[in-house]
Structure 1
Amino acid sequence: MQKHPIKLTSGEIAPLWTGYLGDSMANCVLHYFLRKVEDEEVRPILEYALSLTNEHMAFKDKLFRNEDFPIPRAFTGEDVNPDAPRLFSDTFTLLYLRQMGTGGMTAYGLALASSTREDIRAFFNHNLKTAAELYNKATTLLLEKGLLPRVPHITYPRTAEFVQKEGWLNGLLGDRRTLNAAEITHLHLNILTNRIGQTLMQAFAQCVRSKDVIPHIVRGMRIATKHIEVFSSLLRDDHLPAPETWEAEVTDSVESPFSDKLMLHHTLSLSALGLSNYGAAVAGSMRRDLATVYIRLAAEVGTYADDGAELMIRKEWLEKMPGAIERDALIQA
């Protein structure tokens, strides 16, 4: 019996299409990092990460051509200048690689869950494993160098316990319980993610050339700084440490290694990651005051992301994701 070709579903197109943009952007960033890296222990991890983005894009190029599906314009060699002066330290490069692994595990896990076609599931399953490998390589080296801020330790409980009163959920002043392990973890991880964003936007703000993009990136840097302080203060209330700033990992260079289009797109990607993390934190935090904080800050990030998307549209930099047919537009009055 002849097999009929199985078309891609929306659940497969979405992660393939957005992933193509993300991989092409990461490819530009990694090419620049690789040209500037001085630490020979970081270099092989960079080479591994770059090999993954090349592998992903080659698979998608072939797949899209076979499916007669338009390949996104995305980002090319025109969006990166590897000869630009050094902008980031090797320490930040390693932290960035770890964040790539973290983001990849989340993205490919969701992509795998939304896919049904066998070849697509195999692709995302492989990517999930290699993202975990990238995360492990970067984490191991950061630990060996003493550079990784660990999630705070807590004292082991002596016995299993049950909650005795409803006030345990409130988090109100005067009746506020201490943070539990899950809440500490979310606060810590959201500080780290915002530290990455804060550092990137500090660097981008020094280099961006478009006059209307500069204030948007500076605004994003200030939002990240504000959110870091909110989360850090919640940890400090329970005498727990918060990760330190990484702004010193940015040099004084003002010559951009990346196009303004790439830098603005990167800020949008960071906003999307932040919103995803805040949503997970709301679900994982039982203290009501924490949920309120995350929802309030998520609204601020959402507004910022919306303004960034509008800016990209005005500059004709925002590619349109494939969607359903606009039937009403086909009807002639």
Structure 2
Amino acid sequence: METEHNIRLTSAEMSYLWTTYQADTMSICMVNHFLQHIDDMEIKRVATHALDISQQHVEIIRQIFTDEAIQIPQAFGDQDVNLKAKRLFSDDFYLQYIKHMSKGGLATFSRALPNIYRQDILSFFSKCMTSTMELNNEVTQLLLEKGIAVRPPYIPSPKGVDFVQKQSFMLEGLGNGRALTGIEISDLYSNIQTNQLGVALATGFSQVVESNKVRKYILRGKDIALKHIKVFSDYLSYNSLPVPTSLAQGITESKESPFSDKLIMYHFSLMMYSGIGNYGVAISESQKSDLAIDYSRLLTETLKYAEDGVNIMIANKWLEKPPTASNRKDLAKD
């Protein structure tokens, strides 16, 4: 029987370790810069906790890859962050940023865990999930204490059991009577918040990037995010529900870049694919046909935007190739 030590990493195990390493090395650069400027000691404590989690992840994955004779990714490091650069965002924004990043981590680890079989890797991702849950709880509590938590809207509690009477419950479009379900509201609210984070980051990053091509790409992304916010907000407004507030007030006027253009492009790529996943989930949970159609339309636009970003990263040799299957056609050549 094959021992645990000799069990090879599966494609899922290797790939989730690889992508986690990329994301956490980026996070280390981001949060290390945040910590140079945070004045609020409570927010500094949360940011330090976030940094410690990412550093632990990176150290463990590096050791696993070394033991398995797998090439450690270049990812991100000291060359991608300028710790002496001026503050680009406010303390409150840093807290909101960590909240969004912990949310993204929970989504990633929840996808990874069901596909992991080797016990040491399963243990690692279980601990990743637990530590990220703890961070999410900590940052959520602090957002509540500071009065800056952006909660989804309230809806009336059901007073009895009710059943859908007509198929039009799922087919009705905007303005045709049927109110949004709680899940639809939650998805709309969450996707507005994610796009608002993208708008704020795009605004800040566009002030500091060196490449004009990257700047134009980022500003195009900002316009797309603002359009998506408008589409989603119209659904909430029509149902007399509040729309999440902008995060733009948390941006300084600094024009000194804390991060490399490579890191900034990777960050946008990460947000794009996270958004694509969020839209996919929202489509599966939307029972209004017009809402599902809008998500599908905006998803297509996001995919095209993400593809253009990949082309910029390839042209600049910023995109590391992830673990892939063998190309059997090439291997079969003389």
TM-score normalised by the chain length of structure 1: 0.98
1:98 CA displacement: 0.7
SS at match of 1:38: coil
| Counterpart residue identity of residue 307, structure 1 | D
Note the alpha carbon deviations across 1:11-48, whole angstroms, 9 max, x for none. Answer: 11111001110000000001001111011110110110
**What residue number does 1:313 align with?**
314
Determine if the alignment matches structure 1 residue 20 to structure 2 residue 21. Answer: yes
Identify the residue that residue 195 of structure 2 maps to in structure 1. 194
Who is 1:257 aligned against? 258
Name the structure 1 match of 2:132: 131
**Aligned-pair CA distance for 1:332:** 3.2
Unaligned runs of 5+ in 1: none
What are the residue-to-residue correspondences of 1:32-111 with 2, within 5 Å? 32-111=33-112
- Asked if 2 retains the 8 angstrom alpha-carbon contact of 1:167 and 1:175, the reply is no
- Give the secondary structure class of the aligned counterpart of 1:146: coil
My pick for the range that moved more, 62-71 or 101-110, is 101-110
Deviation at 1:109, TM superposition (A): 1.1
Distance 2:81 2:175 in 1: 53
CA contact (8 A) 2:85 2:257 kept: yes
Deviations 1:159-206 (A, max 9, x none): 110000111111225533010101000000011111111111111111
Q: 1:143 to 1:173 in 2, by over 3 A?
A: closer
Contact 2:173/2:291, CA 8 A, preserved across alignment:
no
Structure-2 residue corresponding to 1:213: 214
Question: 2:18 & 2:166 partners in 1: Cα distance?
Answer: 48
Measure, in 1, the Cα distance between the counterparts of 2:175 and 2:167: 14
Measure, in 2, the Cα distance between the counterparts of 1:17 and 1:101: 18
Question: What does the per-residue CA deviation read over 1:121-174, in whole Å, with 9 as the maximum and x for residues that have no partner?
Answer: 000001101111111111101111110111000111211100001111112255
| Paired position in structure 2 for 1:121 | 122
Amino acid at match of 1:167: S
Q: Which AA in structure 2 matches 1:106?
A: A
2:231 matched residue in structure 1:
230
Cα distance, 1:96 vs. partner? Answer: 0.7
Instruction: Provide the secondary structure at the position in 1 that maps to 2:36.
Output: helix
* Change in CA separation of 1:173 and 1:71 when aligned onto 2, cut-off 3 Å: closer
Native 8 Å contact 2:174 2:290 kept in 1: no
More displaced 10-residue stretch of structure 1: 115-124 or 95-104: 95-104
- Aligned partners of 1:174 and 1:78: how far apart in 2? 52
For residues 2 and 307 of structure 1, the distance between their equivalents in structure 2, rounded to whole angstroms, comes to 45
Provide the C-alpha distance between the structure 1 equivalents of 2:97 and 2:105, rounded to a whole number of angstroms: 12
Letter of the 2:284 counterpart? A
**Does the 8 A contact of 1:169 with 1:288 survive in 2?**
yes
Task: Deviation per CA, 1:258-286: give whole Å up to 9, x if none.
Answer: 00000011000000010010011011111
Contact 2:174/2:235, CA 8 A, preserved across alignment:
no
1:132 and 1:230 map into 2 onto residues whose CA distance is 31
Name the structure 2 match of 1:151: 152
Partner of 2:289: 288
Structure 1 counterpart of 2:240: 239
- Secondary structure, counterpart of 1:42 in structure 2: helix
> After superposition, what is the alpha-carbon deviation per residue over 1:229-252, rounded to whole angstroms, capped at 9, x for unaligned?
111111000000011111110000
Q: Cα–Cα, structure 1 residues 234 and 328, in superposed 2: closer, same or farther, change >3 Å?
A: same
1:172 aligns with 2:173: yes
Q: Output the TM-score relative to the length of structure 2.
A: 0.98
How far is the alpha carbon of 1:2 from its aligned partner?
7.2
Structure 2 residues not aligned, in runs of 5+ = none
CA distance in 2, matches of 1:215, 1:323: 31
For 2:72 and 2:85, the matched residues in 1 are separated by: 29
Q: Work out the CA distance in 1 between the residues paired with 2:333 and 2:187.
A: 52
Distance in 2 separating the partners of 1:231 and 1:260: 30
What one-letter code is carried by the residue in structure 2 that aligns with 1:209?
Answer: E
